[in-house]
């Protein structure tokens, strides 16, 4: 069994002159699957939910209660639920592909300088740093929008405070910390999923039968945890952005 381990996502075809990588292609598949699940689960809504509708409603209620516990207000929580739940589902759908058989091993060979290289058709989106950086940027921008919408232009005083030299320096640190969140978000998710992908590939090549099974369970757990951590940190940072700078200092 052959696997491809590469830090960079490989191009598999082009669409309208734009190169499509295996990680992007797999992410699209995940989006289609999730969209179909939601469509069929909500197609015929019933007062007493059953089956897939019941699962989707329980998932929504879980995130609604989570948002309310963090934000402290039900009205605000209901506004945050769609974004936070979407982040979790999107990241999880990207993560889960690492444990699906054939991902990383089904593909085609390409001739390179030192021989032939396997180009897999499928690769977990989260194992591509471009994916995680883009998602981190979206999360941080959404946090700033929440802060501006809640506090108005006064939110900017958190970063640009000219009242005294100390506050100005603290503001610069706050500004740097916002950019640091992008690095922290992206590399945490990328590192965990890529490491899991490598771990599974190594065990499947060395001991391809029963021994890797517990690691599949471990990676499933990691996929859920990393998706939840990403969504939870976004929610917490939104809560922090909603607090006036003076109140935060107090």
Q: Determine the Cα–Cα distance for residues 242 and 250; give it in Å rounded to an integer.
A: 14
Give pLDDT tens digits along the chain (250 positions). 455 667 788 888 888 888 899 999 999 999 999 999 999 988 888 888 888 889 999 999 999 999 999 988 888 899 999 999 999 999 999 999 988 877 877 888 887 777 777 888 888 889 889 999 999 999 999 999 999 998 888 888 888 888 888 888 888 898 898 889 999 888 888 888 888 877 777 777 767 666 667 777 888 888 999 999 999 999 999 998 888 765 444 4
Which residues contact residue 128 at a Cβ distance below 8 angstroms, ignoring those fewer than 6 apart? Answer: 9, 21, 23, 24, 190
**3-class DSSP state of 4:** coil
**3-class DSSP state of 19:** strand
For residue 4, what are its two tokens?
């491809």
Output the pTM of the full model: 0.86
- Write down the pLDDT at residue 92: 94
For residue 150, what are its two tokens?
């809640």
Q: Determine the Cα–Cα distance for residues 11 and 16; give it in Å rounded to an integer.
A: 14
Q: Determine the Cα–Cα distance for residues 30 and 95; give it in Å rounded to an integer.
A: 10
- Write down the pLDDT at residue 201: 73
Q: Determine the Cα–Cα distance for residues 127 and 5; give it in Å rounded to an integer.
A: 10
- Write down the pLDDT at residue 217: 84
Within 10 A of 97 (CB to CB), how many other CB atoms are there? 25
- Write down the pLDDT at residue 4: 61
How far, in Å, are 17, 210, 213 from residue 197 at the CA level?
30, 17, 14
- Write down the pLDDT at residue 89: 94
């Amino acid at each position: 069994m052959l696997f491809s381990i590469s830090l960079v996502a490989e191009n598999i075809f082009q669409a309208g002159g734009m190169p499509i990588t295996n990680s992007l292609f797999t992410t699209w598949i995940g989006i289609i699957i999730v969209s179909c699940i939601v469509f069929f689960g909500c197609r015929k809504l019933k007062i007493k939910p059953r089956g897939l509708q019941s699962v989707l409603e329980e998932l929504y209620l879980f995130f609604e209660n989570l948002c309310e516990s963090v934000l402290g207000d039900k009205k605000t929580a209901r506004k945050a639920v769609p974004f936070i739940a979407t982040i979790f589902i999107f990241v999880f759908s990207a993560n889960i592909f690492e444990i699906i058989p054939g991902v990383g091993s089904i593909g085609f060979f390409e001739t390179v300088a030192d021989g032939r290289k396997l180009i897999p058709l499928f690769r977990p989106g989260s194992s591509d740093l471009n994916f995680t950086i883009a998602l981190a940027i979206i999360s941080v921008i959404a946090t700033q929008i929440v802060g501006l919408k809640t506090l108005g232009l006064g939110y900017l005083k958190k970063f640009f405070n000219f009242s005294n030299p100390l506050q100005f320096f603290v503001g610069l640190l706050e500004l740097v910390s916002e950019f640091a969140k992008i690095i922290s978000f992206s590399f945490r998710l990328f590192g965990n999923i890529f490491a899991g992908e490598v771990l599974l590939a190594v065990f499947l090549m060395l001991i391809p039968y029963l021994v890797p099974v517990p690691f599949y369970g471990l990676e499933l757990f990691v996929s859920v945890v990393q998706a939840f951590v990403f969504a939870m940190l976004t929610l917490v940072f939104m809560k922090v952005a909603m607090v006036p700078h003076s109140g935060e200092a107090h």
